Structure 1
Amino acid sequence: MGTFDVRDMMKADAAGSAAPASMGKTEDGQTRRFHPLAERIAALPVKPTLSPVMIEGLVRLLDVLVVLAAGGLIYWLYAAGKVDDPLAYQITIPVVAVGALATFQALRLYPVGALRHFAGMVVRLIGGWTMLFLIALAAFFFLKVGSQVSRGWLIGFYLAGGGALIAERFAVTAAVRRLTRSGRLERRTAIVGGGEAGAELIKALEAQKDTGLRICGVFDDRNDARSPDLVAGYPKLGTIDDLVEFARRTRLDLVIFTLPISAEARLLTMLRKLWILPIDIRLSAHMSKLRFRPRSYSYLGAVPVLDVFDRPIADWDIVVKWLFDKFVGTLALIALSPVMLATAIAIKLDSKGPVFFRQKRYGFNNEIVEVLKFRSLRHEMTDHAAAKQVTKDDPRVTRVGRFIRKTSIDELPQLINVVFKGDLSLVGPRPHAIHAKTLNRAYEQVVDGYFARHKVKPGITGWAQIHGWRGETDTEDKIQRRVEHDLYYIENWSVLLDLYILAKTPFSLLTKNENAY
């Protein structure tokens, strides 16, 4: 199922018997009823979506390649071997390609909304392409280089380039429409705040064309007349705690607050619960009387919003990090395979039991992942739930286990998670065991906003590890500092930072291993 409409689902529920509310749990373990419609929406299969930013970037690349190809082809057919100096052509073709990119950007020919409408897009494209060539002719005239470029080649370049661009955009429009129909471009959206403000925002969003927003429902902590159960035809699916659970159960891309800025205390209370999620959070400025400069806003169609939180490592960053993980991870797996083979043999010779140890841990967005490690504890004393942390001189640790834990060789099988399973990254916050505790308190009870470290995929090594915050967390300060370093990494991620962390990891294992037992 690619798309859905909450209102149609409500009608179906009204025609039949509504499903009973299911039971959910908050992050502090409290049991709470979950709205039956929210349960149904969360249970729908969700297709992977494509980022509009990535699609726009690919179309830009296609435009440049098409222009370069058209200019080069016409030169090869018309002017190659007939001109004494090809330098003018070699300069003109890439300059026109870059000029086309700038012109089409100025004419707003790259937003996904524009790509869906072929006729209007082509009119602007032809106008921009023609204007670009008129500017090129004027430049040749004023620079007195017109005699160095064949007019026949210019005419051929104009016609062939224009025709190729139109054909390319026709194919792009067909592809974008197909992706739209299949739900691959939609942004699943939740509205926070009911009442008049929420209703007006929903109406304004529905009046926009081609935003790709798919409203899942409304969430509000208020239960009085100011927040009815139905807002502009959309149901209120619960409170902010319900929204957090909803975002854990299904993909949610965007949350829009309709609260006024003057409701600062209420807004901050809600944001403290939501900022841990890997989603974009916006504050509606649609009905706000407080006006900022236009550049202060981002827009959903023509609806102004203020950016509060952005999902980290999004759009092209996801592609770059995925390629980095696969490429570097594969090289590391090949290079370290002798060490892994020797470790496996040593484990089998040292104690009975399997070579690998599998443990359930928290992954991206609190999803449960199974990480691989070399077994370092005696098989009969294996602790899959991490109920008891390994301490100094722990009798459960084998002789080989003590060495591989100290050197972190026990973590090397997680390269299999990175390269083949894709549920871990090379660099990121270390995945913690589900029931991990410090001083008999769960990590999320010790550190405010602990689950924010799950806004990105966990990693084998990370910013916290190279600063010595690894191993046993027997005090609240240790887990607090580890989470602080994880959040710093999330907010400041770059490929260069990943490279720096990977380069520093071997040295930190040798010099900062006092907490690793």
Structure 2
Amino acid sequence: MKSSRTFKPNSSSDASFYRLFDIFALFLAFQCSALFYSFELTAHYMVAVLTVALSFLYCAEIFSAYRSWRAGKFKTMVLCAWGSLFVAFSILFVISFMFKFTESLSRIGLGLWFLLSVVYLYIWRFGVQLYKRNRRSLGMNLRNVAIVGATESAVYLYDEIEKNDELGFKFLGFFDDRKPERLFNNVKTYEISGTIQNAICAAREGKIDILYIALPMKADKRIADLLLQLGDTTVDVHFIPDFLLSNLIHARVEHVGDVDTLSVFESPFIGAREFIKRTEDIIVSSIILMLISPMLIAIAFAVKFTSKGPVIFKQDRYGLDGRKIKVWKFRSMSVTENSAVVTQATKNDAR
């Protein structure tokens, strides 16, 4: 059977674990607030729970709250969760106001639910973080890391490893075949631990858990040979694109049959992102229109009473996929007859 040449999707068990415990924390906070404040669990409260839970998961995906946090900051992880919680409760208030069941919900009970959710989301994350830190401080759950290629990208990665001790990485060194005078300037201050072949031998002996390849893209033959030699080892191999490539690629992989393609430029509205953008457009724009409607009415009256002609000016523009759309604006110029030639507005235009 012909083997697939496509990238395999990476599933994170931690992400599912975090989602499960977040929902558990929200439900536990709700139950505690219900017991403490003794309010009756009506159908409206069930709607509130489902609204907050679904909105929280939705917002958490937008904020990338479930990405791999081994290489992230604990503070950022908590802020993402709290931000998702705040938006989720804001959505609940909007929905309860729109469907007129705010009086059926206890404001103190909801406030207590929110505060307990904030606390529980933090506590269980802090507990997991503390558990991991203790294991790593005891030399457990540490991963030996090495970098092949003493390049600018390699130095940047090394600096990030040194700054973030919560990663649980133990850096073994740079490995490169080039002479010192050919190395990137900032690398000359670091000690080269050995050649690329030394790194391969260490990987085969199980001394390296993660090997980062920071060779330039033009060294494709060396990279291919390195991957071939590492194919029968248990080491995790990651490729670090050079700065030119990383600036061009948005890290999105597409598949055309068995051929992989990397996106350079593409529409930002693909898949779920199109749905997220559309819901944001409808919800956020509706809220903004309601808030500024008095101002819009005042502007409309001002335009109508100060000059002849329609209040709204319609203009053709082009949106996503080159589709023609109508843009509505308040008219700020006097009306002229349409003709084949349209004269654009200029400074101090008489119109």
Superposition TM-score, scaled by structure 2 size: 0.55
Describe how 1:246-265 pairs up with structure 2 within 5 A: 246-265=202-221
Which of 9, 24, 27 does residue 68 from structure 1 map onto? 27
> What residue is the counterpart of 1:200 in the other structure?
155
Query: In structure 1, what is the equivalent of residue 74 of structure 2?
Result: 116
CA spacing shift, 1:133–1:59, aligned 2, 3 Å: same
Distance of aligned partners of 1:172 and 1:94 in 2 relative to their CA distance in 1, 3 Å threshold: farther
Taking a change above 3 Å as real, the CA distance of residues 244 and 124 of structure 1, as seen in their structure-2 partners, is closer
> Any gaps of 5 or more consecutive residues in structure 2?
1-10, 254-261, 263-351
Cα deviation, 1:438-461, whole Å, max 9, x if unaligned, reads xxxxxxxxxxxxxxxxxxxxxxxx
For 2:49, the equivalent position in structure 1 comes to 93
Q: In 2, are the aligned partners of 1:217 and 1:234 still within 8 Å (CA)?
A: yes
Residue 234 (structure 1) aligned with residue 191 (structure 2):
yes
Does structure 2 conserve the Cα–Cα contact (< 8 Å) formed by 1:70 and 1:157?
A: yes
Task: Pick closer, same or farther for the CA change 1:60–1:289 going to 2, 3 Å.
Answer: closer
Q: Say which SS state the counterpart of residue 294 (structure 1) adopts.
A: coil
1:139 deviation in Å? 0.9
Task: Give me the whole-angstrom Cα distance separating, in 1, the residues matched to 2:36 and 2:246.
Answer: 61
Q: 1:315-394 to 2 correspondence within 5 Å?
A: none
Tell me the secondary structure at the aligned position of residue 251 of structure 2: helix
Report the secondary structure of 2:248's partner residue: coil
Letter matched to residue 292 of structure 1? L
Q: Quick check: 1:140 aligned with 2:99?
A: no
Contact 1:115 1:173 in 2 (8 A): no
CA distance in 2, matches of 1:53, 1:291: 26
> 1:145 & 1:138 partners in 2: Cα distance?
11
- Matches of 1:122 and 1:264, distance apart in 2: 40
Q: CA deviation at 1:65?
A: 0.7
Residue identity matched to 2:17 = L
Aligned-residue offset at 1:114: 5.1
Which ranges of structure 1 fall in alignment gaps of 5 or more residues?
1-51, 298-305, 307-517
- Structure-2 change in CA distance of 1:255 and 1:134 (3 Å): same
Which residue of the partner structure matches residue 442 of structure 1? none
Please tell me the residue identity of whatever aligns with 1:156. L
Partner of 1:273: 229
Instruction: Report the CA distance shift for 1:284/1:65 in structure 2 as closer, same or farther (over 3 A).
Output: same
Corresponding residue of 1:474: none
1-structure distance, mates of 2:19, 2:78: 15
One-letter code aligned to 1:149: L
Provide the aligned length of Structure 1 versus Structure 2: 240
* 1:488-514 alpha-carbon deviations (Å, 9 max, x no partner): xxxxxxxxxxxxxxxxxxxxxxxxxxx
Report if aligned partners of 1:68, 1:94 keep a CA contact under 8 Å in 2: no
**TM-score, normalising length: structure 1:** 0.39
C-alpha distance in 2 between matches for 1:290 and 1:158: 40
Go from structure 1 to structure 2 and tell me whether the alpha carbon gap of 1:105 and 1:213 turns closer, same or farther (over 3 Å shift): farther
The alpha-carbon distance between structure 1 residues 206 and 74, as it changes in their structure 2 partners (threshold 3 A), is closer
Does structure 2 conserve the Cα–Cα contact (< 8 Å) formed by 1:244 and 1:277? no
Contact 1:193–1:219 (CA under 8 A) maintained in structure 2: yes
RMSD: 3.7
Matches of residues 27-38 of structure 1 in structure 2 within 5 Å?
none
Aligned-residue sequence identity (percent) comes to: 21
Q: Distance in 1 between matches of 2:59 and 2:140?
A: 28
- Amino acid in the other structure paired with 2:19: R
CA distance in 2: counterparts of 1:252 and 1:276, whole angstroms: 14
Q: Which runs of 4+ in 1 moved over 6 A?
A: none
